[in-house]
Structure 1
Amino acid sequence: MSGSATSSEPQKVDPSQPGGVTVDTNPGGTALPSPVPEANAALPAHLDRLADRARGYVEAASSANTRKAYASDWKHFTAWCRRQNLTPLPPDPQVVGLYITACASGAATADRKPNSVTTIERRLSSLSWNYAQRGTPLDRKDRHVATVLAGIRNTHAAPPRQKEAVLPEDLIAMLETLDRGTLRGLRDRAMLLVGFAGGLRRSEIVGLDLGRDQTEDGRGWIEILDKGLLVILRGKTGWREVEIGRGSSDTTCPVVAIETWIKFARIAKGPLFRRVRGQGKDVGPDRLNDREVARLVKKAALAAGVRGDLSEGDRAEKFSGHSLRAGLASSAEVDERYVQKQLGHASAEMTRKYQRRRDRFRVNLTKASGL
């Protein structure tokens, strides 16, 4: 195991790397590495523009939230290495094994709070990505990593804590808490209804633009048709279309809610859901952060008294942006394959994890076997 202290030198080009790839010699920094040579690398001048374009494609390979998570996890790992007088580069499976052990035992941070197995797996994936981008892959199959991780899973793995599903009756009550006479109220109604009816993730909701190719950071756009709303989304596995039909009444129709928001917010182009400013009288140009969706769901659920049998603290923990997605999966009385398509799941098993009140014993194999 290596035991030298982390270097504090700035980032530089390592001529030993193919093409002069940028190497982060300040591994505690938050800047993400790039496999593309910097402009000052040993490249012919006429390739500078191509290198700039390649760096743009590297950025586009993952979402902003993913890149932020990669940077945060790398910073967490390098800070732990610094405290232990270890170096994070080059990758040492024994060091990584000790790190995930510290995460599982609560010794990786000052608050002594153990990380969940899910968080540890995410941190390990982030380290693998960071090391790969630096041209020094981490061997996750090495016994110091693989065996330790298997032991952590066997010891600490627990069933996932699912968020509460927002059911139709809950959603209607939540909509009633929003002021239809304000821009913020109109926007929030549209977000709740589209998020529920489309089974959308919170990042997908705020990532929508009014039309195609209108912003660089958009994750999709909408098309309003006679029979409903077509949502075109860019996901991890490519593009997909989500069809949102019109509701049985204007008050619960996601299409009407979108049309009303667009009209009164006077949005002609760009991000669909934006910040309301000027004491609620003006709509700004900036796209909403996806955390606003989670805050909206929590706030509206509390105001509507959803799950009033629980304490306010427990209720706040149970609702998030995913509650809308789980609500559609749990309440749509249609063939499961249609729900799977709407949610964009690759398997029916994943869709079933979102169904909070499905009939689990509809198929009784005990009786079917003759018992």
Structure 2
Amino acid sequence: MAERPAPSAQVNRYTQAALADNTYRSYKADLAHFRAHGGAIPTTAVQLAEYLASFADTLAVATLQHRVIAIHRAHLEAGYPSPAMDSLVKRTMQGIRRTKGTAQRRVRALVKDDIIELVLTAEKQKPMKAARDAALILVGFAGAFRRSELVSIRQEDITVFDHGVEIHIRRTKTQQEKGHTVFIPCAKSSRCPVKALEKWLALGGVEQGPVFRPINRHDQITSGKALTPQSVALVLKGVTSHAKSAEAAKSVAGHSLRSGYCTEAASVGVATHVIMEQTGHRSSATLAKYIRPLIRQKTPSLF
């Protein structure tokens, strides 16, 4: 099969823009690992199956599936037939899934009581970090944001109203082009996400650009760049470790805030379609994966 001409730099720029930055970087990393272990584009179905089998004992099933997708896309973009569609590769992945299982680790859902406890603990830190972490936790929970969405919030995309704030996320996992807008109402309690956000913006002097930024051990903002998505998990784990225990922190991740909102909202009887409007989920089946069993008396509101 004759190779087709390579696309121009301009075409490459737009095709890359079709993917979320994190997705593009992860595909690039997948291909780098494949090549580092003898793989090439194009490759054969046998070579791909051997690659998958060689890492079945050391990599998660979800990671291997992601690698297959990355290799599949790379072949199609280069004009080659994809070996991922071959029956040998499909059977190999089926065998790995059956042998290793595909159960995902379910992170702890941080619900209202957890959030209050974490914020109280976060507020015991140095002033700047206390304000940032409290705002990050409360806004992340109230907005049901993914960790990548939370760190992508920019000051200029926040609209203030008398009864709350509207936050526009320019690009989300499911809304790559038009983004998603979330409204966070003011709360009567002392742990109001809107007041926490206002306090952080004022104390940090954040007048434009990324809202949540790195802070060093001297309690100083180190740059105008945003926190990384991984930093959200580190903040939550750190605060949880101090508020509860190091063992409890192991089950907490960046998705714990989003899952916590879904769980809390469902427990107080918020309609599924209303929860989906806030979270941006496109199907109730996907939303259901975020809701954890919660046995306690219903709470009047999320705050």
What is the aligned partner in structure 2 of residue 156 from structure 1? Answer: 100
Structure 2: how far apart are the matches of 1:358 and 1:315?
Answer: 17
The alignment-based identity, stated in percent, is 29
SS at match of 1:242: strand
Deviation at 1:282, TM superposition (A): 4.3
One-letter amino acid of the counterpart of residue 100, structure 1: L
SS at match of 2:218: coil
Moved over 4 A (4+): none
- 1:219-246: CA deviation from partner (whole Å, max 9, x where unpaired): xx32222221212222233222212111
Structure 1: how far apart are the matches of 2:224 and 2:195?
Answer: 22
What is the aligned partner in structure 2 of residue 293 from structure 1? Answer: 232
Deviation at 1:277, TM superposition (A): 4.2
Name the CA shift for 1:99/1:161 in 2 (closer, same or farther; >3 Å): same
> Under a length normalisation based on structure 1, what TM-score does the superposition of the two structures give?
0.72
Name the CA shift for 1:278/1:76 in 2 (closer, same or farther; >3 Å): closer
Deviation at 1:278, TM superposition (A): 7.8
Say if 2:127 is the partner of 1:182. yes
Any conservation in 1 of the 2:263–2:291 contact (CA below 8 Å)?
A: yes
- 1:66-108: CA deviation from partner (whole Å, max 9, x where unpaired): 2221122112111222xxxxx523221111111111121x3xx
Say if 2:204 is the partner of 1:269. no
Any conservation in 2 of the 1:275–1:284 contact (CA below 8 Å)?
A: yes
SS at match of 1:241: strand
Match of 2:13 among 38, 44, 56: 56
Match of 2:285 among 326, 342, 349: 349
What is the aligned partner in structure 2 of residue 202 from structure 1? Answer: 147
Name the CA shift for 1:344/1:296 in 2 (closer, same or farther; >3 Å): same
Name the CA shift for 1:280/1:196 in 2 (closer, same or farther; >3 Å): same
- 1:140-192: CA deviation from partner (whole Å, max 9, x where unpaired): 33111112212222222242220011111111111111237611111111110
> Under a length normalisation based on structure 2, what TM-score does the superposition of the two structures give?
0.87
Q: Which has the higher contact order (CA 8 A, sep 6+)?
A: 2
- 1:106-158: CA deviation from partner (whole Å, max 9, x where unpaired): 3xxxxxx2x22211111111111222232224143311111221222222224
Any conservation in 2 of the 1:298–1:320 contact (CA below 8 Å)?
A: yes
One-letter amino acid of the counterpart of residue 243, structure 2: A
- 1:341-362: CA deviation from partner (whole Å, max 9, x where unpaired): 2221111111111111258xxx
SS at match of 1:231: strand
Q: What is the correspondence of 1:98-137 to structure 2 with a 5 Å cutoff?
A: 98-104=50-56, 106=57, 113=58, 115-137=59-81
Question: Please, which moves more after superposition, 91-100 or 270-279?
Answer: 270-279
What is the aligned partner in structure 1 of residue 117 from structure 2? Answer: 173
Name the CA shift for 1:315/1:139 in 2 (closer, same or farther; >3 Å): same
SS at match of 1:339: helix
What is the aligned partner in structure 2 of residue 225 from structure 1? Answer: 161
SS at match of 1:153: helix
What is the aligned partner in structure 2 of residue 216 from structure 1? Answer: none
- 1:27-57: CA deviation from partner (whole Å, max 9, x where unpaired): xxxxxxxxx324xxxxxxxxxxxx3xx4432
- 1:252-284: CA deviation from partner (whole Å, max 9, x where unpaired): 111111111111111111111112248214463
What is the aligned partner in structure 2 of residue 244 from structure 1? Answer: 184
SS at match of 1:230: strand
Any conservation in 2 of the 1:93–1:139 contact (CA below 8 Å)?
A: yes
Say if 2:255 is the partner of 1:322. yes
Structure 2: how far apart are the matches of 1:168 and 1:232?
Answer: 24
Any conservation in 1 of the 2:41–2:74 contact (CA below 8 Å)?
A: no
The structure where strand makes up a greater share of residues is 1
Name the CA shift for 1:260/1:159 in 2 (closer, same or farther; >3 Å): same
Aligned residues: 286
What is the aligned partner in structure 2 of residue 77 from structure 1? Answer: 34
Question: Please, which moves more after superposition, 91-100 or 237-246?
Answer: 237-246
Any conservation in 2 of the 1:274–1:288 contact (CA below 8 Å)?
A: yes
Any conservation in 1 of the 2:62–2:102 contact (CA below 8 Å)?
A: no
Structure 1: how far apart are the matches of 2:232 and 2:174?
Answer: 23
Structure 2: how far apart are the matches of 1:358 and 1:281?
Answer: 39
> Structure 2 regions of 5+ residues with no counterpart?
296-303
Name the CA shift for 1:258/1:228 in 2 (closer, same or farther; >3 Å): same
SS at match of 1:273: coil
Structure 1: how far apart are the matches of 2:118 and 2:55?
Answer: 39
